[in-house]
Amino acid sequence: MIKHFISLEWKAFTRSASFKVNLILKILMAFGALAILLYMLLIGVGAYYIIDEYLKKEPLVFVNQILIFYFLADLSLRYFLQKMPILNIKSFLYLPLKKDKIVGFGINKTIISFFNIVHAFFFIPFSIVMLLNGHDALNVSGWVVAMLALVYCNNFINIFVNNKDVVFYALVAVIVGFAALTYYNIFDITVFTGPIFQAFYDRPYLAILAVGLMVLLYKMAFNYFRKNFYLDAGLAQKVAVGETDNMAYLDRFGSVSTFLKNDIKLIKRNKRSKTTVLMSVLFIFYGLLFFTGAVKAYDGPFWRVFAGIFVSGGFLFSFGQFVPSWDSAYYPLMMSQNIRYKQYLESKWYLMVIATIITTIIASFYLYLGWQAYAAVVVGAIYNIGVNSHIVLWGGAYIKTPIDLSSNKKAFGDKKAFNVKTLLLTIPKIILPVAIYAIGHFASGEVLGFILVAVSGLIGLLFKNKVFGIVERIYKAEKYKTLAAYQQKN
């Protein structure tokens, strides 16, 4: 039976319409995974000596103190990045297969996930170094077994909270809250959690408790999905209660207002779009790396413009790159209606422009870091509105990625978002404004550099209708390829 499931997984991979892209990206991801594993290995080997020699603390005690944040951060990252195979079992409901086998395969597949293996490359080398430095073998064995068991506890917990936003945001709030309280010496949670992790070393037999908790969570996850293994139960798509909001204030945009209202409702009502808004808010603080000199490698005038583009364009990049994929669920229906592409694209453009303006106003706190910092944000916003807003819409025509609005998976991008055309379009989005600024900076100074970037954005805005005509023709040319891509299930 297991061989049958593996065979189906292999066929799904090789018969995909984007098999070549998948294969190349799998290879690249493999190299990236190997690099991460190597870094974790180096950290696992070197952490003991770094803590001992530079921090002048007992390495194991120090590690046990910060493990609470380590595991909570791991759970947060899993929520965003780890894909749950259990979500792909709906297609097996129509086949004469035993439910236990299907559910077991789905959950067992998460056990060999990279998100579990990567932790072993820290804990096992760290344990070996402890042995080399005279720690008792039995105590070290109990500790490392307990730590790896807790890693898998996180894996099974993530299965439960995978689609529960409230749990995730509460978890993030707890991490930030405890970190702030500890930093300002108000309340140090590590005083209470450190001894718990230390107990697994002092009393190695307690590792049985961690292993037992892991087995219990596995059984709970298995029984939960076994019980809800029906399309009208736990696997059914959740439908929210409808809300009435006519958004009359958008009527001033004329015929485009209908699409604008749909886009705003989409953002308000769906998990994936809400995450995009959250990501764009985080982009506002991206400039702190560049404007404060916190990272010496990024301390320079050219990096200011680079940062300004991202600070003001967080929503533009994260939302705009997936137009029209946001509407993939009902895109075929839209294309069967009497809808002009220009109006559809203009609604997306207005939404990105409004978000860019709001972001720029919020980012006014950068004035405290000097006028140059906020000037970079403002000229970056002008360039984003006049140039990048058109380019991201242009690039969206080549990204045929259906979006599951109810899930956060691939919220940071998708493999199909990377192709030659979209990569080439990153040049005018990011590199060109920096190059334009450099011309003015070397010719006369930073003021002329800022002016040239702003003028470039204004010129792009002046030729908006011409550019929209070109983009509209591209969307029409890619229309049927896009429709075919949206019909294919991942």
Q: Which residues contact 207 (CB under 8 A, 6 or more apart)?
A: 141, 142, 143, 145, 146, 149, 200
The CA angle 475-481-485, to the nearest 5 degrees, is 115
- Note every long-range contact of 285-291, with CB atoms under 8 Å and residues 24 or more positions apart, other chains counting: 286/310, 286/311, 286/314, 287/311, 287/363, 287/366, 287/373, 287/376, 287/377, 291/366, 291/369, 291/370, 291/373, 291/376
Note whether 407 and 163 are within 8 A (CB).
yes
- Predicted local confidence at residue 415, as pLDDT: 41
Using CA atoms, how far apart are residues 436 and 450, in angstroms rounded to an integer?
9
Note whether 331 and 399 are within 8 A (CB).
no
The CA angle 211-215-217, to the nearest 5 degrees, is 115
Torsion region of 185: left, alpha or beta (phi above 0 gives left; psi -120 to 50 gives alpha): left
- Predicted local confidence at residue 405, as pLDDT: 65
Q: Which residues contact 406 (CB under 8 A, 6 or more apart)?
A: 163, 237, 238, 270, 271, 272
What does each of the 490 residues of the chain score in pLDDT, given as a tens digit? 556 556 665 666 566 555 555 566 667 667 777 888 898 999 999 999 999 888 889 999 999 999 998 998 888 888 777 766 554 555 666 566 677 777 777 788 888 888 899 999 999 999 999 999 999 999 999 999 999 999 999 988 887 776 566 666 677 777 778 877 877 778 888 888 899 999 999 999 999 999 999 999 999 888 877 776 655 444 444 444 445 455 665 656 666 667 777 777 777 777 677 777 777 788 888 777 777 665 554 556 677 888 888 888 888 887 877 777 777 777 777 777 666 777 778 888 888 888 899 989 988 888 888 888 888 889 999 999 988 888 888 877 777 677 766 655 544 444 444 444 445 556 677 788 888 888 888 888 888 989 999 999 999 889 888 888 888 888 888 777 777 777 765 4
Q: Which residues contact 138 (CB under 8 A, 6 or more apart)?
A: 204
Note whether 307 and 376 are within 8 A (CB).
yes
Looking at residue 429, the DSSP 8-state letter turns out to be I
Q: Which of 338, 137, 343, 356 is nearest to 254 (CA)?
A: 343
Using CA atoms, how far apart are residues 293 and 296, in angstroms rounded to an integer?
6
- Predicted local confidence at residue 245, as pLDDT: 54
- Predicted local confidence at residue 106, as pLDDT: 76
